[in-house]
Chain A
Amino acid sequence: MSARVLGRRTGTVLLLVAFAFPLWWTLVSSLVPESRLLDGPSLLGGEVTLAHYRALFSERGFLVPIRNSLVVAGTTTLVCVTLGSLCAYAVARLRFPGKAPLLAFVLAVAMFPQISIVSPLYLLLREVGLIDTVPGLVLPYLTFAMPLTVWLLVGYFRQLPADLEEAALVDGASRLRSLFEVVLPLALPGIATTAILTFLYSWNEFLFALSFTVSPDRRTVPVAIALFRGRYQVPWGEILAGVVVATLPVALVVMLFQRRIVRGLTAGAVKG
């Protein structure tokens, strides 16, 4: 009995170390002066400096990619949740011909490996003159964010009792009105979770952002960090500082909402 508890605790600790250690190392290393960075493992103590962070924001102008990422991820999330909830509601509740193929199509779109659609997307975007613009990133992001949103929200909407909407319909509401008055308020936790997940995916996206931006002031955070390395040197200190800045807010949000996010990822899997 107690041996099992002990075993489980040890396992938990090991897992925690495995996941937390890289984060901890990143954080500590970003605070160590460049000169001592490659000396060897120095995890604790010693000289602490904010030099990398200063360089990050002054010399590298890291605020620009942060703003770009916020705009792109924010817009993607907004569009996804707005259109996605309408689509998900229709899929979850209405009977219409071709519903099953539609759902399969939505899922299929999300199945394509990103790398396989980079070239066609690039040609498309160039044709309509959207390379190196915000819409030029938001539109491609919708290809993976939209299916995710729709699938998550369908799960949420299906969990809501149909009686409530029917009561609203009989009470005099139109379909759309009952969606706004009854369904959406009740699905709000699910919508928030979906929004956070969509935002995270877009915030972390790398391949599209790298392929469809050209000028430095259009780059998003992951791309900017990846392109820190010069021809002759790799500025590890600044890269680490950039990683901390890009990761920390996200990690905090996830920790705050983790319970809901887990529920979102498994929504519909088990009946409430």
Chain B
Amino acid sequence: MREGTGAASDAGGSPPAAVRLEGLAKRFLDGSHAVRGVDLEVREGELLVLVGPSGSGKSTLLRLLAGLETPSQGRVWIGGRDATSLEPRERDVAMVFQSYALYPHKTVRENLAFGLRMHRVAAAEIGERVAWAAGILDIEPLLDKRPGQLSGGQRQRVALGRAIVRRPKVFLLDEPLSNLDPALRQHTRTVIAQLQRRLGVATLYVTHDQEEAMTLGHRVAVFREGRVEQAAPPMDLYRRPQTAFVASFVGSPAMNLVRCRVQGAGVDRGLTGVGVRLRLHAREAGLPGGLHGDEVVLGIRPHDVRLESTGEEGDLAGEVLLVEQRGNEVVARLALDSRGRQDGSLAGSPGAPFAMVLPPEAEPRVGEVLSLRLPRERLHFFDGRSGERL
């Protein structure tokens, strides 16, 4: 914007990324690690969603970027400039807080103008820009009210307005929708997506909602325990999750994961696990060679599980425990039958029931035993110990 860029951009070549994080780590005073070595890039105009369970370090990462926390290690580059030790005000980023953090004693207009005033923008231009932002977000009638007089949705839009009016290099959004009711959340999600595409400002968006992440992001970075498990476009995450954690986190209902042991070598191999006895042909499945005796995690999405209708014996059999009607589809939760075992019991069965998606007209009954087929090209394999994709 109006601050001079400190360092020159990377020598020649492509323009610098809007944001680059190098080996960024944060350890708090109590010794707990919030972020453990993150390397990430956000390109100009890109919306990168940081998603992960609460406590996985995604919000801390955002605060490190804003300069509200100091990293224990690593560097932060914003617009090709080393911003690691810059004050928040020198970074040219705008942040939308989960709580909105609107200044309660200022009117909406003053809230919007505050950042511009702090950056010594001329009064006339402040007026123009506030009007512009208010127009985009449809909050003109609210300009002279105070935050206390606004509804949750209105406050949310004012918070967005306060960010866009600055025209910063980077937007940081920390769970901006989590305080809205579901209907409004859907709508606001669209508003944010359109706004971001229109303004073309690099954006980091934190959420714990995988659906929000998948629908909003150009790319999605999945966080777990302070590390990025995988950063990729949404469909790549869905189709080729790099770890078992990503596989279980992305998609709804979650991917089925079953621990199995590889039996045999060569062309004909088998997989055995609790309730699972699969024969794999080398050509069909993506399981690498070798591995005899190793433990692997077999994954398959509930949408990819098929009913065996040909009358032949299926790959698996499962007893229906629970039926969830979702309108456009039916989700059945199954207990895998340990067919072929002597005891015939389900002792030691995995914690989560096996899920499959059926067409809406299917009417599985609880207690019914279904025969299932697992299309080999839809199987995912992960290392039994590290969880890495094989």
A183 to chain B, nearest CB (A): 10
**Is B118's CB under 8 angstroms from A173's CB?**
yes
**Is A170's CB under 8 angstroms from B68's CB?**
yes
Give the contacting residue for A171; candidates B67, B114, B172; CB below 8 A. Answer: B114
Among listed A68-76, A148-156, A161-169, interface-contacting one: A161-169
Q: Give the number of chain B interface residues (Cβ < 8 Å).
A: 25
User: Within 8 Å CB of B172, what residues of A?
Assistant: 170
Bound-state Cα–Cα, A163 to B175, Å: 14
**Is B99's CB under 8 angstroms from A170's CB?**
no
User: Within 8 Å CB of B29, what residues of A?
Assistant: 95
Among listed B90-98, B237-245, B250-258, interface-contacting one: B90-98
Task: Say if the beta carbon of B283 comes within 8 Å of chain A.
Answer: no
Among listed B100-108, B196-204, B368-376, interface-contacting one: B100-108
B346 to chain A, nearest CB (A): 48
Give the contacting residue for B105; candidates A170, A172, A173, A185; CB below 8 A. Answer: A185
Task: Say if the beta carbon of A177 comes within 8 Å of chain B.
Answer: yes
Give the contacting residue for A172; candidates B68, B99, B103, B118; CB below 8 A. Answer: B118
User: Within 8 Å CB of B94, what residues of A?
Assistant: 170-171
Task: Say if the beta carbon of B166 comes within 8 Å of chain A.
Answer: yes
With contact pairs A166-B68, A170-B94 given, residues A161 and B99 touching in the complex (Cβ less than 8 Å): yes
Task: Say if the beta carbon of B27 comes within 8 Å of chain A.
Answer: no
Task: Say if the beta carbon of A130 comes within 8 Å of chain B.
Answer: no
Give the A-B contact count at a CB cut-off of 8 A: 63
User: Within 8 Å CB of B88, what residues of A?
Assistant: 166, 169-170
A98 to chain B, nearest CB (A): 14
User: Within 8 Å CB of B93, what residues of A?
Assistant: 170
- By beta carbon, the residue of chain B nearest A172 is B118
User: Within 8 Å CB of A174, what residues of B?
Assistant: 87, 89
Give the contacting residue for B66; candidates A164, A168, A170, A181; CB below 8 A. Answer: A170
User: Within 8 Å CB of B87, what residues of A?
Assistant: 169, 174
Task: Say if the beta carbon of B115 comes within 8 Å of chain A.
Answer: yes
Bound-state Cα–Cα, A42 to B99, Å: 63
**Is A161's CB under 8 angstroms from B68's CB?**
no
Give the contacting residue for A163; candidates B97, B119, B162; CB below 8 A. Answer: B97
**Is A168's CB under 8 angstroms from B68's CB?**
no
**Is A173's CB under 8 angstroms from B68's CB?**
no
A-B contact pairs, 22 of them (CB 8 A): A163-B97, A163-B99, A166-B88, A167-B102, A167-B103, A167-B162, A168-B103, A168-B114, A169-B67, A169-B89, A170-B67, A170-B88, A170-B172, A171-B94, A171-B114, A171-B118, A171-B166, A172-B115, A172-B118, A172-B119, A173-B118, A185-B105
Give me the interface of B with A, judged by CB distance under 8 Å: 29, 66-68, 87-89, 91, 93-95, 97, 99, 101-105, 114-115, 118-119, 162, 166, 172
